[in-house]
Amino acid sequence: MGRASRTESVRRPRLAWLKPFLFLFALLPLARLVWLARGQGLGANPVEYVTHSTGTWALVWLLATLAVTPLRWLSGRNELVRLRRMLGLFAFFYASLHLLTYLWWDQFFDWNEIARDVIKRPFITAGASAYLLMLPLALTSTQAMMRQLGRHWQRLHRLVYGVGIAAVLHYFWLVKKDLSQPLLYGAILSLLLAARVMHWLRSK
Amino acid sequence: MSKLRIPYIPPSEITPSQLVLSRRTFLKSGAAALAALAAPAQARLAAQASAYSTQEPLTPFSDVTHYNNFYEFGTGKEEPAQRAHSLITRPWTVSVEGLVQKPRVWDVEALLRFPLEERIYRLRCVEGWSMVIPWIGFPLAQLLRQAEPLGSAKYVEFVSLHDPRQMPGQRLPLLDWPYREGLRLDEALHPLTLLAVGLYGELLPNQNGAPIRLVVPWKYGFKSAKSIVRIRLVEKQPLTTWMRAAPDEYGFYSNVNPAVDHPRWSQARERRIGEFHKRPTLPFNGYGDQVASLYAGMDLKKFF
């Protein structure tokens, strides 16, 4: 038995515990919304509350996904990569809820109005772009697709950087005046992207 | 053991019922007086009904008082309700000054002695939601007429309180404090323009702009300055806080207008708080019959 597979077997239990824990944890924001909705706890404007909450959590899971690789470099724990797909799919899941809230409870599927919004309003354009860029990543997230795409898979999945930038811009352009939250998420995204640039420069 | 027979005497024979009832009234009024002393915000305000009121169903009190834009107490909608207790509304004065014959510093208690009316108005926020609120107050025109504006007065500027100790949101330079708003003099003198001191029959809760605020129902909500300390009549159009913050997004007039979008979102529809479906937004928030003539001949896309 090789050395690599032995460390593998030592580390595996730890991740085996972390992954289901993270899975349940990632469902908590949704559970909370359902809980609040049942108890009239969503405030005076429930649709706005759900929109903001699902949007925020989509961004949080997206940044968590982007944090996996820098964390691998920092900790040397390459097995962290096993969490990445799940985190990315949770980002997609909350982004889908966010989009559905907008399409249904904000626009009531008025496609003319939606098209006008996407064209005329930069923050909607950015949000729509982020979602469209995410779509092929979610669709090619299976093992079979990974095998099939081979080296193209990684190239395709670099789109996630575009998703991050579009998502933060979406937040930036929608707030009325208080930029503190979008700035915070923008700063974290910049840090995560800068880590990649540094790594690339060093490995050159 | 002999049994002592105690005759049954109904209480009504001991104390006449009128006395019992009047004692109850006395206790009640005493308790009410105590409550009024302890918490002036709970006092009921006597107000006449007004023909300007809408018949539409009222937005619940809890929503009116827990979903507020009042950046002096934070940018979250629930923050004003959580944090506005630090605002001290007595004593409070409002000065009426500038281009007037008779400038005067009014004590808020004196303002409460104006004949008060209940005005049920629609409120449309620039963010795309709306409410129906039973305000209590009096027309601003009554106050301005007492000051006797000079012929040179063309605009009215409203200045809100600036005190970061009472208004923690002012510790951040988010907006250029103090909050300033303005109206053209004819808008300010319009009978719909109200100085509100209460809502739902009570004194204004702090988070709604206590102790005295403006209510201009045909304009977006931010035009209705809260916690006013100064009303100044001036010759030139005042530079308002939101015009200073984002001149391309907020104009001086800010009349509710479904045909002129905010640069970043549509103003065609609104969500009435408490309702699920959106409703179309009406020009001048439905007060066109009363106010459209103020803007005759003006290009409302230019003067947004």
The confidence score (pLDDT) of residue A169 equals 97
What ipTM goes with this model?
A: 0.83
The pLDDT profile of chain B, 304 residues, written as one tens digit per residue, is: 444 555 555 555 555 555 545 555 555 555 555 554 444 445 689 999 999 999 999 999 999 999 999 999 999 999 999 999 999 999 999 999 999 999 999 999 999 999 999 999 999 999 999 999 999 999 999 999 999 999 999 999 999 999 999 999 999 999 999 999 999 999 999 999 999 999 999 999 999 999 999 999 999 999 999 999 999 999 999 999 999 999 999 999 999 999 999 988 999 999 999 999 999 999 999 999 999 999 999 999 999 9
Q: How far apart are CA A165 and CA A155, in angstroms?
A: 17
Residue from B170, B249, B266, B272 to probe the interface with A (highest A Cβ count within 10 Å): B266
**What residues contact A169, with CB distance under 8 A and at least 6 apart?**
A122, A123, A126
Place of tokens 């605020």: B213
The confidence score (pLDDT) of residue B14 equals 55
User: Which of B62, B174, B264 is the closest to A121 by Cβ?
Assistant: B264
Q: Tell me the residues of B at the A interface, defined by beta carbons under 8 Å apart.
A: 62-63, 66-67, 71, 75, 77-78, 127, 129, 174-175, 245-246, 261, 264-266, 271, 273-274, 276-278
Q: Is B224 annotated as a binding residue?
A: yes
Nearest Cα of chain B lies from the Cα of A1 at a distance, in angstroms, of 59
Contacts of B169 in chain A (CB under 8 A): none
Nearest Cα of chain B lies from the Cα of A159 at a distance, in angstroms, of 26
Nearest Cα of chain A lies from the Cα of B300 at a distance, in angstroms, of 20
User: In chain B, which residue ranges form alpha helices assigned H by DSSP?
Assistant: 11-14, 17-38, 61-64, 79-83, 108-111, 140-147, 185-188, 241-245, 288-291
Per-state percent for chain B, helix, strand, coil, to nearest 5: 30, 25, 45
The confidence score (pLDDT) of residue B42 equals 54
Q: CA angle at residue B215 from B186 to B93, to 5 degrees?
A: 95
Yes or no, beta carbons of B264 and A116 under 8 Å apart = no
User: Which of A44, A121, A174 is the closest to B67 by Cβ?
Assistant: A44
Using CA coordinates, name the residue in chain B closest to A47. B276
Whether the CB-CB separation of B284 and B259 falls below 8 Å is answered with: no
Q: Are strands B155-160 and B228-234 parallel, antiparallel or unpaired?
A: antiparallel
The pTM of this model reads 0.84
Residue from A50, A113, A170, A176 to probe the interface with B (highest B Cβ count within 10 Å): A176
Residue B217 DSSP one-character state: T
Beta bridge partner(s), residue B124: B130
Nearest Cα of chain B lies from the Cα of A169 at a distance, in angstroms, of 13
The confidence score (pLDDT) of residue A3 equals 45
Whether the CB-CB separation of B134 and B50 falls below 8 Å is answered with: no
The helix/strand/coil state of A196 is helix
The pLDDT profile of chain A, 204 residues, written as one tens digit per residue, is: 444 444 444 545 567 888 999 999 999 999 999 999 998 889 999 999 999 999 999 999 999 999 999 999 999 888 899 999 999 999 999 999 999 999 999 999 999 999 999 999 999 999 999 999 999 999 999 999 999 999 999 999 999 999 999 999 999 999 988 899 999 999 999 999 999 999 999 987
Kindly provide the b/e burial profile for residues B229-267, where b requires at least 16 CB atoms within 10 angstroms of the residue's own CB.
bbbbbbeeebebbbbeeeeeebbbbbbbbbebebebbbb
How many residue pairs from chains A and B have C-beta atoms closer than 8 A? 45
Contacts of A105 in chain B (CB under 8 A): 276
Yes or no, beta carbons of B277 and A176 under 8 Å apart = no
Angle between helices A84-101 and A46-75 (to 10 degrees): 160
The confidence score (pLDDT) of residue A6 equals 46
Yes or no, beta carbons of B77 and A43 under 8 Å apart = yes
Of B252, B264, B265, nearest to B295 by C-alpha is B252
Yes or no, beta carbons of B261 and A48 under 8 Å apart = no
Whether the CB-CB separation of A181 and A173 falls below 8 Å is answered with: no
Q: Is B81 annotated as a binding residue?
A: no
Q: What is the CA radius of gyration of chain B?
A: 24
Yes or no, beta carbons of A177 and B78 under 8 Å apart = no
Which DSSP helix (H) or strand (E) runs through A118?
Answer: helix A111-120
